[in-house]
Chain A
């Protein structure tokens, strides 16, 4: 199933309610306060957040005035344009060797995403090593090993409770000597307000810069689409610690809309790079702003 069909499928079954509302909204009626109230409700219930919703709506109203828009259908197009513009980023071209550091709070789906990511690179013919630097959570390395087997890639790990930074150090030495093209590092889930754990992450980040300066670096944060406005705080603090290059937005196959990324894109200027749509190894897709927005606003 291609990306478009898949996201359509994943989002469709769950977005019927919102789509119904939007269709009702956009096909009938006039552009009055009730119309905008309804629109506000739809954006808010997609976790877009009150501030970002206000911003989107005021920009929408401005555009409607300026372009003398009178039909609700045109408003829909305008709304999508505004949402898309916020989410659309130019991503840097990847070069190899590449080191991807994956971080995030507990339970967002880091390990699963890494399994899928490794599979993607492997499928495109790259040599891949994944690194089990989550030495904290019970059986985390076991879980990653199973994903490594599924993806058919190499894994570097140590015993539970080992120093995460030293696992990373070892892995980088071996990646250098073996000429591995893509190294993906799994880290322990940590709440962004735990100073010590964030310091540990900074240390890992420093080690990569120091030990493998010739590699291209990408730091990803994994966000659970079910998360509400706290995602802003997560990206803010992780970004402060290790300079986040992109977001992997997981669990979009549920009923959550993941709208909080609009606020994040606006405030933190961190792009969404991938979306997770299930538990299968090929359920990770490149993010596409217009598909994402269209899936929310049109349901198709």
Chain B
């Protein structure tokens, strides 16, 4: 991200000069609030939302006792994090199912928010849950939008209903009839992207709503949206009374403050997040994780969960023990690389680590290709060498580089990186596994 650095570090700076004492005083709170305000603004939280939020936090921070075990900075972050999480809703919500089939989901949003892609992802998710979704092409304006939905539908394995460029309301109505007579239990309506100030097109959405009475009306919003998110969400909500929000493109490096703004002005839950180009890249929304992300503190919970998915329990326990005993070997290193890949690549993982968001994840040091080469290098080693990397001296290094098709420099780099990792693990062990804020 370059331009941003974690709020955690900034706050640490504010409180660095202080020893732990009984209460936060007004001056310190003011300094801390300044940093929080900047962090929220840089994360694209709406100015007015920030103002209200800061007022609320300051009030709460004033009387707060500092517990012995944490620093004042951590204490303030905890308050901020709690309030943020609270503001974003207690937990993620699921899709509503209509008691009278079919369940109708209507998608809406600005151009380029990612509606069509999201329709495909929802269809794939529903199919996985054993449902039978029907995709309906109601974007009659954008060139080739119907073709796009057809391709997306094919990827999701869902049927696409289209009637060319006839009036979207009519197409939608016919689609529901088609769904009823052909046993589809869910109808997903892809509407055209539109500006919230385009009255004609907004009325078209109102017409579809009136005709179909959808179970869900989901506003799709690009997670990178700036201050204007508030205006957009307010207008869509006022005209359609949306039932929820889907945030897209969260796999970018945006802090996603729009999530907070939208939630604050509409009060509607954020239901899902789009996190990649693949049809399965759809995740439920977790307010607590989003709070951490907005504050630039990483998404530790997601990371842990992903790690758990990628590594089975047995492997985890073994790895943990090895870390504990400092008998971590190159074999473990290899397993780590492989699980990293399963976790969606190193870029995605780095993004979730606290304090890492400030590093440029385009950095060559974590280039995926390089990791492939590292794997090749380890694969060219004997079991003994993997157990005891210290025996890998110059002639072994030459052999390994030849065997793996890499250069000696790369072999050296790998061994050095391994050493550093092992040192880091030792440090973490001494730190009782606590991550430095």
Which residues of A are interface residues toward B (Cβ below 8 A)?
13-14, 41, 44-47, 49-51, 105-109, 136-140, 142-143, 145-147, 160, 191-196, 198, 224, 226-233, 236-237, 240, 251, 253-257, 260, 267, 279
Please determine whether A194 and B113 come into contact, CB atoms closer than 8 angstroms.
no
Please determine whether B228 and A226 come into contact, CB atoms closer than 8 angstroms.
yes
Instruction: Please list the 7 inter-chain residue pairs (A to B) with the smallest Cβ-Cβ separation, ordered nearest first.
Output: A228-B226, A107-B112, A138-B151, A228-B44, A146-B143, A142-B144, A139-B147
B368 within 8 A of A: yes
Task: Give 4 new A-B contacts, CB below 8 A, not counting A228-B258, A233-B1.
Answer: A138-B148, A228-B44, A230-B254, A233-B254
Q: How far is the CB of A99 from chain B (nearest CB, A)?
A: 24
Please determine whether A193 and B347 come into contact, CB atoms closer than 8 angstroms.
yes
| Chain B 1-33 residues near chain A, CB threshold 8 A | 1-3
Question: Quick one: which of A46, A146, A231, A267 contacts B144, CB cutoff 8 A?
Answer: A146
Please determine whether A45 and B197 come into contact, CB atoms closer than 8 angstroms.
no
Q: How far is the CB of A155 from chain B (nearest CB, A)?
A: 12
Please determine whether A253 and B3 come into contact, CB atoms closer than 8 angstroms.
no
Please determine whether A109 and B112 come into contact, CB atoms closer than 8 angstroms.
yes
In the complex, identify which listed stretch (B245-253, B318-326, B388-396) lies at the interface while the others stay far away: B245-253
Which residues of B are interface residues toward A (Cβ below 8 A)?
1-3, 37-38, 41-44, 46-48, 110-114, 116, 141-145, 147-148, 150-152, 155, 195-197, 222, 224-229, 231-232, 249, 251-255, 257-258, 277, 347, 351, 360-362, 367-368
Please determine whether B3 and A232 come into contact, CB atoms closer than 8 angstroms.
yes
Please determine whether A230 and B44 come into contact, CB atoms closer than 8 angstroms.
yes
Smallest Cβ-Cβ distance to A150: which chain B residue: B143
Please determine whether A227 and B3 come into contact, CB atoms closer than 8 angstroms.
no
8 A-B pairs whose Cβ atoms sit less than 8 Å apart in the complex: A107-B111, A107-B112, A160-B151, A224-B222, A227-B224, A230-B224, A230-B252, A230-B253
Please determine whether B228 and A255 come into contact, CB atoms closer than 8 angstroms.
yes
A227 to B116, CA, bound (A): 19
Please determine whether A143 and B143 come into contact, CB atoms closer than 8 angstroms.
yes
Question: Quick one: which of B43, B155, B229, B360 contacts A229, CB cutoff 8 A?
Answer: B43
A256 to B232, CA, bound (A): 9
Which residues of chain B are within 8 angstroms of A14 by Cβ–Cβ distance? 197
With A49-B41, A229-B42: A224-B367 Cβ-Cβ less than 8 Å: no
Which residues of chain A are within 8 angstroms of B155 by Cβ–Cβ distance? 138
Smallest Cβ-Cβ distance to A108: which chain B residue: B112
Q: How far is the CB of B360 from chain A (nearest CB, A)?
A: 8
Please determine whether A195 and B226 come into contact, CB atoms closer than 8 angstroms.
no
Smallest Cβ-Cβ distance to A44: which chain B residue: B47
Please determine whether B251 and A191 come into contact, CB atoms closer than 8 angstroms.
yes
A49 to B50, CA, bound (A): 13
Smallest Cβ-Cβ distance to B228: which chain A residue: A256
Residue from A147, A195, A232, A236 having most chain B Cβ neighbours under 10 A:
A195
Please determine whether A50 and B42 come into contact, CB atoms closer than 8 angstroms.
yes
Question: Quick one: which of A105, A147, A195, A224 contacts B252, CB cutoff 8 A?
Answer: A105
Which residues of chain A are within 8 angstroms of B152 by Cβ–Cβ distance? 138
Q: How far is the CB of B169 from chain A (nearest CB, A)?
A: 21
With A107-B114, A228-B44, A237-B362: A255-B225 Cβ-Cβ less than 8 Å: no
Please determine whether A106 and B227 come into contact, CB atoms closer than 8 angstroms.
no
Question: Quick one: which of A50, A232, A236 contacts B41, CB cutoff 8 A?
Answer: A50
A44 to B40, CA, bound (A): 12
Please determine whether A255 and B2 come into contact, CB atoms closer than 8 angstroms.
no
Smallest Cβ-Cβ distance to A143: which chain B residue: B144
Question: Quick one: which of B141, B227, B360 contacts A228, CB cutoff 8 A?
Answer: B227
Residue from A106, A143, A192, A240 having most chain B Cβ neighbours under 10 A:
A106
Which residues of chain A are within 8 angstroms of B252 by Cβ–Cβ distance? 105, 191-193, 230
Q: How far is the CB of A294 from chain B (nearest CB, A)?
A: 20
Please determine whether A254 and B195 come into contact, CB atoms closer than 8 angstroms.
yes
Residue from A146, A191, A253 having most chain B Cβ neighbours under 10 A:
A191
Question: Quick one: which of A136, A193, A226, A257 contacts B253, CB cutoff 8 A?
Answer: A193
Please determine whether B224 and A228 come into contact, CB atoms closer than 8 angstroms.
yes
Please determine whether A44 and B41 come into contact, CB atoms closer than 8 angstroms.
yes
Which residues of chain A are within 8 angstroms of B226 by Cβ–Cβ distance? 47, 226-229, 231, 256, 260
Smallest Cβ-Cβ distance to B367: which chain A residue: A195
With A107-B222, A196-B368: A254-B2 Cβ-Cβ less than 8 Å: no
Q: How far is the CB of B81 from chain A (nearest CB, A)?
A: 20
Q: How far is the CB of A144 from chain B (nearest CB, A)?
A: 8
Please determine whether A226 and B43 come into contact, CB atoms closer than 8 angstroms.
no
Please determine whether B148 and A233 come into contact, CB atoms closer than 8 angstroms.
no
With A106-B114, A260-B226: A255-B143 Cβ-Cβ less than 8 Å: no
Which residues of chain A are within 8 angstroms of B257 by Cβ–Cβ distance? 228
Please determine whether B367 and A109 come into contact, CB atoms closer than 8 angstroms.
no
Q: How far is the CB of A275 from chain B (nearest CB, A)?
A: 15
Question: Quick one: which of A51, A146, A198, A255 contacts B231, CB cutoff 8 A?
Answer: A255
A139 to B120, CA, bound (A): 14
Which residues of chain B are within 8 angstroms of A50 by Cβ–Cβ distance? 37-38, 41-42
Which residues of chain B are within 8 angstroms of A251 by Cβ–Cβ distance? 110-112, 195
Which residues of chain B are within 8 angstroms of A227 by Cβ–Cβ distance? 222, 224-226
Smallest Cβ-Cβ distance to B261: which chain A residue: A228
Question: Quick one: which of B3, B110, B142, B222 contacts A236, CB cutoff 8 A?
Answer: B3
Please determine whether B47 and A224 come into contact, CB atoms closer than 8 angstroms.
no
Which residues of chain A are within 8 angstroms of B112 by Cβ–Cβ distance? 106-109, 224, 251
Please determine whether A45 and B147 come into contact, CB atoms closer than 8 angstroms.
no
Please determine whether B225 and A226 come into contact, CB atoms closer than 8 angstroms.
yes
Q: How far is the CB of B112 from chain A (nearest CB, A)?
A: 3
A233 to B5, CA, bound (A): 13
Residue from A142, A224, A229, A240 having most chain B Cβ neighbours under 10 A:
A229
Which residues of chain A are within 8 angstroms of B224 by Cβ–Cβ distance? 105, 224, 227-228, 230-231
Question: Quick one: which of A138, A233, A237, A254 contacts B196, CB cutoff 8 A?
Answer: A254
With A193-B253, A228-B226: A142-B368 Cβ-Cβ less than 8 Å: no
Question: Quick one: which of B151, B227, B253 contacts A45, CB cutoff 8 A?
Answer: B227
Please determine whether A47 and B251 come into contact, CB atoms closer than 8 angstroms.
no
Which residues of chain B are within 8 angstroms of A46 by Cβ–Cβ distance? 227
A14 to B228, CA, bound (A): 11
Question: Quick one: which of B3, B145, B151, B197 contacts A254, CB cutoff 8 A?
Answer: B197
Q: How far is the CB of B29 from chain A (nearest CB, A)?
A: 19
Please determine whether B347 and A194 come into contact, CB atoms closer than 8 angstroms.
yes
